Structures are given as structure tokens and as C-alpha cells.
Amino acid sequence: MAFLPSPQRYDAMEYRRCGKSGIKLPALSLGLWHNFGGIDQFENARNIITLAFDKGITHFDLANNYGPPAGSAEETFGRVLKKDLMPYRDEMIITTKAGYYMWQGPYGEWGSKKYLVSSLDQSLKRMGLDYVDIFYHHRPDPETPLEETMAALDLIVRQGKALYVGISNYNAAETERAVKMLREMGTPCLVHQPKYSMFERWVEGGLLDVLEQNGAGCVAFSPLAQGLLSNKYLKGIPSDSRAASGRGNGALESGRITEDKLNQVLQLNEIAQQRGQNLAQMALAWILKDPRITSVILGVSKPEQLTDSLKCLENKEFSAEELQKINQILG
């Protein structure tokens, strides 16, 4: 049966301007890092993607190596696009990235012009697209001159293969340099995508200030610390969790879940309950409280988790007392 999205799909979602650009992104975006690969069930992936669009999520975040196997998340998304969403392509922001290992030999990872251009060509084929809305360099390359990597991003926009470009996992100083170079080339850096959660707050040490000063947006990934900031771990490590699975590719390692961490999770959960939220909803709202954050990327394994996460938008305000308590717990 043909997918027909709700006519009210834009009513409940909040949209935030991405830096000083003309683009607005939904406060919550859908990430396809896990659960959308070739080893995962296609119908479940399709249900999550179409539900997201139905709820006003217009931003879908991918990368060349998402799967497993690498590349298969883009193939899954391409199938859903073809089957359900292609009539709505102009309502969507579709992004992909390159920087991590993708294929054998010296041109299969990092930041050379050869790798970035080739990788995006492959991504477009897998998704069945003429262009992506945002193309990211996925991680800094210590060996390739930054000028070459940024020139490749500029070239990709001039070729019409991406409308905008961004960077991911760059620190504040690296970001400052990259943003300046892109501006001088005439292709401004639209957005930075860093890891950010209650347990991973390095972006507060300068990166958010650099982005604000340079008019770039910020899209946070891993907001629930790979599921640690959810109800999943309130009673220890469940057998069906990502930590227990050891699937790699960014999965939470069970060794990182210490007694101290679980104690923090329990205390944070108490505050969430007092706010009328579950822990995941509060953790998402906590990131969105900062106006410099454009969007938060959700990673979900089933449609119900997506529906549950959306409820964070109902209560994004924190009292000074709540923030103080949270900071005390996090030390």
C-alpha cells in the first residue's frame, strides 16, 4: 500500500534555524547509524523512517559506512525513498558523510579529495539520489592538509552533488580553521556534528562558542550515550542491549558501564520522574535547552522508541535547581 503522510505532520514538531543559514532543522532528527543495515529487518527500518517523516522529522542522517555491512544503511534508505518518500524529496534534508574506513587500499578513508568525491558518488548511487542536502567530512585527517579536504567539500557543492557541507568530530581549534577556510572559498560551513550527552560534554569547552561566533549550527549525536541514558540500564545490563551484543561500530561496551555510572543513571532517573518524563526524554530535553543546538539525532531500534522520544518536546524547560542537581550528579 502506498505511504500517505499525515497532513498535520508539521504541527507538533519544533524547527530551529541552523546557524545563520536559510535552513531550519527539526529539533529531533533520525540517525541511521544502527538498526538500518543489511543484517536488520527491512520492514522495521521502513516503519521507523516513514513514522519519523509522519511526525515532522524532515532530517535523515547517514554516512557511507553505516550498516553493517558498510553502505547498507544507505541502500535501505534508498529503498524506502523509492517505495514511499520520493514524492516528498523536497521536504527532506538528507545527509551523508565520509571519513572513516570504507574500502581497501590507500584511497578508502580519511580526507583526500580522491576519497571524498568517490565516496559521495557511491553514496548517491546507493540512495538513488542526484544530490544530498548536507555532506560532512566525518573526522579530521591528521595527514591530509586541511586545505585539500575543505577544497574537496567546496568542489562537491560546486558540482551540485551537495547543497551544503559540514564537519563532524573536529575539536574547537580544528573547527575554527576549517570554518575560516570554507568561508574564504565561498562555501560556508553549515553545521558541525559532535557527540554530546550528559556524559560527554566536551563541546561545552569552546566548540559551541566557535560555532555560534561563526554562524554554524550544531547537530548532536549519541544524546543517550548509546542507550545508557535510558530506562534500559536501570537494572543492570539486559541481554538484548547493544552493550551485551558487542556489535562494534560504536556500540556501548559493557566494560564502560561501571557501578558509578549506573548509580548516576539511577539518580538522574529520579529527577526525570519528578519532571514527569522518563530518563531518555529528560536527556534529550537537557541537550535541547541550549539555543545553540540545532537538532539532536535519535537512534532507535523500533517505532515505539521514536514515539516515546518525541515526547521530550513537551517539557524542555529546566529550573535552576534541577540543573544544579544534574550537575552535582554528573560531578
Strands (E), the chain: 15-17, 24-26, 28-31, 59-61, 93-98, 132-137, 162-168, 189-193, 217-220, 295-298
Q: What percent of the chain has pLDDT over 70?
A: 94
85: DSSP letter: I
Spacing of C-alpha 107 from chain mean position: 25
List of domains in the chain: 15-225+288-301 (3.20.20.100)
Condensed to tens digits (0 to 9), the pLDDT of residues 211-238 reads: 999 999 999 999 999 999 999 888 777 6
Confidence of residue 241 (pLDDT cuts 50, 70, 90): low
Return d(Cα 152, Cα 174) in angstroms, integer: 17
The answer to whether 277 and 309 have CB atoms below 8 angstroms apart is no
Q: What beta strand segments (E) does 130-238 contain?
A: 132-137, 162-168, 189-193, 217-220
The reported pTM is 0.94
Q: pLDDT tens across 83-126, in order? A: 999 999 999 999 999 999 999 999 999 999 999 999 999 999 99
Q: Are the C-beta atoms of 96 and 135 separated by less than 8 Å?
A: yes
Exposure of 222 by Cβ count < 10 A (0-12 exposed, 13-18 middle, 19+ buried)?
Answer: buried
Burial class (CB in 10 A: 0-12, 13-18, 19+), 113: middle
Phi, psi of 99 (to 5 degrees): 165, -35
pLDDT of residue 244: 61
